[in-house]
Structures are given as C-alpha cells and as structure tokens.
Amino acid sequence: MAATARALGLPYRTVWHWCKDRPEPRQHGTQLRCFRCRSGVDNPTKPAAYAYLLGLYLGDGHLVTTARVPVLRIYCSDSWPNLIELCDQAMRDVLANSVQRVQKKGCVGVQSYGTHWPCLLPQHGPGKKHERPIVLADWQRKIIERYPGDFLRGLFHSDGCRVSNRVTVRGKQYVYPRYMFSNESTDIMELCHWALDLLGIAWRMNRRNSLSVARREAVAALDRHVGPKS
C-alpha cells in the first residue's frame, strides 16, 4: 500500500481509505495500550513489567510533561548494559511503541514519547521527587501488593546495589553479601520498606537516607527477586 501511494504521488492515508481490505496497524497507539484509559480495565496487560518500571521510574526516572508529547526518561549507567535492555523492554511491555536510547556521559537515557505516560505514572510533577509528596494511587498499590518483588527489583536496579560486606571479628575477617538502597525521598524509602515487609524480608536503616538488607535469609530471599545488576 505504501508503494502504491508513492507511485501515485498520493498521501498514504488516502490510499488506505480507498482500499477495501485495509491492513491492520502493526502497533496500537498509546491510547489503546493505556490500561487506565481502556473502558472497564484497571490492570496492565503485564503487571510485573509495570511494577518493575514503576520502581525504575521512582529511582532514576523523569517524566517530562511540558513538551508537546510527554516523554519518559530513565537513566541507566553504562556499567550495567543488561539493565538498559531490561528498562527498554519494560517500557515496551507497559506502553511504548518505540524506545530511544540517548548516550550521555557515563549513562544512557532510555526514553519513550507517549501521550499516556502521565496516566500510568501519576507521581510526576514539577521539582525533585524528594521535595514533593510521592504517594501511590490505590490501583498502583494493588499491583505492587501482587508483585512486590518486581517493584523492589526496579528500586534496587535504580538506586540500590548488592555488595560484599567485610567485617573483622576477633582478628578474623568475614565476607558476606548485603543489599543497600538509598534515596533522598522519605516517601520512596517508605515504599521500599512496605514492599520488603510484604515479602517478609528483614531490613534496617543504616543512615537517614539508606537501608540495608544483611541477614543471610533476607539476602537469599531478595536474591530470588532482585539479584545483582549486570
């Protein structure tokens, strides 16, 4: 059909309307993909992907709504190429028809333009996240209650890490793994607490803006949901 339009020198949509058997679009527009705007639908097609993407957004994401078309950007370090792939795929699974990667110094901005990103991420707003309230909508809380591990995976993949902690006791050195998560927003930190509690994973605050998961059984449980970045 595109070739016919070019040969006739006509707009593609004109030829499309002429055709009796019109081809279906290969991708749905974001309005059709936005589960918040579909009548009677209040859950994403892939809720685990949404929970993961929400965690990434709360950590290292930014939603620009002042542009002609809203754009969601999540910044991923060059050190973790698999994280870039996971972020790209999560955007596609949730809403995006296309995703761009913009290379910055030391990181990649994974971004997607879409009119309906604000519907799915109502936490967006002017200013830094730690300077304004971050509260989940009731429908978001229901998703996280079902997929707390995926939400934590997004949080820890953005603002967390799995490290080897070294301690010396009576002259003998011990090495054990632990997870760390830091965020300046007390609201986001409390959401991390809540998700960890949903999974029964022990944690403690080691600083005002940082928590630690260090008990052996707790680290093992978090390994099943998060695991180290790659």
Amino acid at the residue 218: A
The pLDDT of 178-197, averaged and rounded, is 97
77 CA to centre of own chain: 14
The residues, any chain, with a CB within 8 Å of residue 200's CB and separated by 6 or more, are: 221
What's the pLDDT score for residue 27?
44
Torsion angle in degrees (nearest 10) through CA of 28, 30, 33, 38: -120
Tokens of 176: 């054990």
Radius of gyration of the chain measured on its C-alpha atoms:
21
Task: For residue range 45-79, list pLDDT tens digits in order.
Answer: 899 999 999 999 999 999 999 878 999 999 999 99
What's the pLDDT score for residue 169?
80
Task: For residue range 102-153, list pLDDT tens digits in order.
Answer: 999 999 999 999 999 999 999 999 889 999 999 999 999 999 999 999 999 9
Instruction: Find which of 33-37, 80-84, 198-202 is predicted with most confidence, using mean pLDDT.
Output: 198-202
Q: What is the mean pLDDT of the chain?
A: 88
What values do phi and psi take at 166, rounded to 5? -115, 125
CATH architecture of 47-162+177-225: Roll (3.10)
What's the pLDDT score for residue 22?
57
The residues, any chain, with a CB within 8 Å of residue 110's CB and separated by 6 or more, are: 73, 74, 75, 76, 84, 87, 88, 91, 99, 100, 101
Give the start-to-end residue ranges of the domains of the chain. Answer: 2-28, 47-162+177-225
